[in-house]
Amino acid sequence: MSFRDYSKRANPPILHRKELFVPKGYPARSKFERLTRQEERWELLDETARIGTRHGWEERLEECGVRLAGHRLVRVQR
């Protein structure tokens, strides 16, 4: 096992599809699954080379006119 601390990085990696990293009985798994389904419906996960870091992910969200509110996506009023 190895450990990496990204807390001081200006552009840390983003973990998508979190439900795949936890066991079936994990209490928040259904919340993670709902978020992933929403991200897939809105085609936010299509550009995998771009969305692996915070800056790329934030750019993609802005382009699509959405923002994260907890573990769900909401449209941004423009």
Domain boundaries, the chain: 28-75
What is the pLDDT of the chain when averaged over all its residues?
94
Q: What are phi and psi of 26, to 5 degrees?
A: -60, 130
- Per-residue confidence (pLDDT) for residue 47, from 0 to 100: 87
Q: How confident is the model at residue 77 (pLDDT cuts 50, 70, 90)?
A: confident
